[in-house]
Amino acid sequence: MSDTTPDTTPDGTPDDRAAAGAPASDRHLPVLLQRCVDLLAPALRAPGSVLVDCTLGMGGHTEAVLEQVPTARVVGIDRDPQALELAGARLARFGDRFTGVHAVYDEVGDVVADLGLPGVQGVLMDLGVSSLQLDEAERGFAYSQDAPLDMRMDQSRGLTAADVLNTYDQRDLVRILRDYGEERFALRVARAIVRRREERPWARTAELADVVRGAIPAATRKTGGNPSKRTFQALRIEVNGELEVLERAVPAAIEALAVGGRIVVESYHSLEDRIVKRALARGTTSSAPEGLPVEPETHRPYLEPLTRGAEEADAAELERNPRSASVRLRAAQRLRPTPSHLLPSSRPNKEARR
């Protein structure tokens, strides 16, 4: 999905602190940083314990864990080679306690297996688009800056946003705008996109923002921020397959956890949080049919929730980091192995991706 939460102002422009070219430590303020460390630390106290940071991004969460939990090692996964390079430079002082891996985070099971680890003690996912990607206008993520319509988190492969806009039929455009952007006026926007590409191919973000603004009724544009944000979110999710990846990633991450290991996930919109909630609920509730006099061992919960529902940012966090307003944090601890009848059916084909 992404690799950190956005460092943007309310209109979608990068935060002044997140200047492109600045060191990674100056370009991103992680959301609920200390809360994440506090949730993960009890599982990382034994020497050689391993945390997998599935969405490494600029490395802020990983740096905090390595500083505060000297017994821990971290494996950082990111699909963006540039993020890996910047985070690697930030974390070089920790030596072999940090290992960076170029992968999509639903490949977490393969990453753990390739490193010869029988299981890990912690998994962290901080979802959303990264500050790195927003900082650099040429990536095409920010609707407030004119740039090529790219939006790929890994620019070495896959369809761009321009490809989607120029090749998807109107029905598919309506689907992604409605399902991924929760856009009330999905049909109007899709029709405008198709009309515009009949004149010339889509290429730039500013053109898209203008067309979307014109397709949204004027009365609606007066509230809710920039009317383009839902379309840009929908395209980003489609281009990067974010929800499909997340659907696979959470179960895979749970299966990578050793008994006693902990998983922490930060989501930033309801589509993500719904997937995370459902995956954790499968492990924290009994799978036994109702009415049985005795619950069979194989149907007992294999996860224990560490949060009551989804935690939100408190007033202090919001003041320190306004971008935390939409965060929903969920966490759980593995109690025992997953019963065989509840195991995920398969892992993603790593070679097919490439």
Q: How far is CA 225 from each of CA 42, 133, 174, 213, rounded to the nearest angstrom?
A: 41, 21, 21, 11
Q: How far is CA 90 from each of CA 62, 82, 83, 86, 354, rounded to the nearest angstrom?
A: 10, 13, 11, 6, 28
Calpha distance 111→350 (Å, rounded): 10
The count of residues in the chain is 354
Binding residue per annotation — 78? yes
Binding residue per annotation — 154? no
Binding residue per annotation — 126? yes
265 sits in which H/E element: strand 257-267
Phi and psi, residue 348, nearest 5°: -65, 150
**Is 56 within 8 Å of 25 (Cβ atoms)?**
no
Concatenated DSSP letters for 11-30? TSPBPGGG-TTS-GGGS---
Binding residue per annotation — 61? yes
Helices (H), 105-262: 108-114, 131-135, 161-167, 170-181, 186-199, 205-215, 218-221, 229-240, 242-256
Calpha distance 344→4 (Å, rounded): 26
User: Mapping DSSP to helix (H, G, I), strand (E, B) and coil, where does residue 231 land?
Assistant: helix
Binding residue per annotation — 169? no
Of 99, 102, 67, which Cα lies nearest the Cα of 83? Answer: 102
Calpha distance 307→332 (Å, rounded): 7
278 sits in which H/E element: helix 270-284
Binding residue per annotation — 95? no
Residue whose entry in the numeric block shows the structure tokens 């004027």: 218
Calpha distance 310→32 (Å, rounded): 13
Which residues carry a binding-site annotation? Answer: 59-61, 78, 105, 126, 133
Which residues carry a binding-site annotation for S-adenosyl-L-methionine? Answer: 59-61, 78, 105, 126, 133
